[in-house]
């Protein structure tokens, strides 16, 4: 987005962060409804569109019977935090966000602090490695209740991330849990890929070039 003439460019969000804020999106529902979330001008940052988030959270609200207070969420490839903060706004008990991009992590932390979102934790790191570490630690007695009812999985396209991430997500889900997955193609075809064999497509839709789905694992962890 080009800067308007005669106006200074946006301020950098933190020390040594050579990125700019290009635009904003907003939380759609809950206690922080209409709160803006900054979108950094950084490669690979692709926030879930408002229309898609509205549909997905309508699905989730129905499937969870609105009982967000009983829900723990894992937001992998968190980016702007649009999905994780949306869940927290609606009352999710716990939201763990994972993001590798340092400027994006700092922006997530700034948003969390602004909202006083104590239920939100943020981890800077690779989503796959972090998810693997979480799965490995689930065997510890003190983490017996650490599984997630909802996992948000919105990875970069064209890198086969879903094939890589879904087996790990299956280990992290609570019984009956759901994975929200975005993709560059539909997952509900008549000949699904082998890595989707353990998953049921509960809901699916398309908006522009975005295919989005709710998945449930057929094999309990």
Domain ranges of the chain: 21-217
Measured CA to CA, the distance from residue 146 to residue 135 in angstroms comes to 10
Measured CA to CA, the distance from residue 57 to residue 73 in angstroms comes to 13
Q: What are the tens digits of pLDDT across the range 96-153? A: 999 999 999 999 999 999 999 999 999 999 999 999 999 988 866 455 568 999 999 9
Q: What are the tens digits of pLDDT across the range 65-77? A: 999 999 999 999 9
Q: What is the dihedral of CA 161, 106, 117, 56, to 10 degrees?
A: -30
CATH superfamily of 21-217: Vaccinia Virus protein VP39 (3.40.50.150)
Give the global pTM.
0.86
pLDDT value of position 99: 96
Task: Give the confidence band of 39 by pLDDT, cuts at 50, 70, 90.
Answer: confident
pLDDT value of position 28: 95
Considering only residues 196 and 91, tell me which one the structure prediction assigns the higher pLDDT: 91
CB 181 within 8 A of CB 168: no
SS (H, E, C) the chain: CCCCCCCCCCCCCCCCCCCCEEEEEECCCCCCCCCEEEEECCCCCCCCCHHHHHHHHHHHHHHCCCCHHHCEEEEECCCCCHHHHHHHHCCCCEEEEEECCHHHHHHHHHHHHHHCCCCEEEEECCHHHHHHHHHHHCCCHHHCCCCEEEEEECCCCCCCHHHHHHHHHHHHEEEEEEEEEEECCCCCCCCCCHHHCCEEEEEEEEECCEEEEEEEECCCC
Q: Is a pLDDT exceeding 90 seen at residue 194? A: no
Q: Which two tokens stand for residue 147?
A: 């599984």
Measured CA to CA, the distance from residue 41 to residue 175 in angstroms comes to 38
């Amino acid at each position: 987005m080009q800067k308007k003439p005669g106006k200074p460019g946006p301020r950098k969000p933190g020390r040594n962060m050579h990125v700019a804020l290009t635009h904003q999106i907003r939380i759609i529902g809950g206690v922080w409804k209409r709160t803006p979330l900054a979108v950094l001008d950084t490669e690979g940052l692709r926030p879930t569109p408002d229309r898609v988030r509205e549909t997905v959270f309508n699905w989730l609200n129905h499937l969870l019977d609105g009982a967000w207070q009983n829900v723990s969420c894992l937001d992998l490839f968190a980016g702007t935090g649009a999905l994780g903060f949306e869940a927290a706004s609606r009352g999710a008990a716990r939201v763990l966000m994972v993001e590798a991009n340092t400027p994006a992590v700092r922006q997530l932390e700034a948003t969390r602090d602004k909202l006083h979102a104590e239920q939100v934790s943020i981890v800077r790191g690779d989503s796959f490695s972090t998810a693997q570490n979480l799965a490995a630690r689930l065997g510890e007695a003190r983490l017996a209740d650490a599984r997630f009812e909802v996992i948000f999985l919105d990875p970069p396209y064209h890198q086969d991330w879903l094939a890589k991430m879904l087996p790990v997500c299956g280990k992290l889900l609570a019984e009956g849990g759901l994975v929200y997955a975005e993709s560059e193609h539909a997952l509900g075809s008549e000949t699904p890929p082998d890595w989707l064999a353990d998953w049921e497509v509960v809901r699916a839709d398309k908006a522009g070039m975005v295919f989005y789905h709710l998945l449930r694992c057929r094999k309990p962890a």
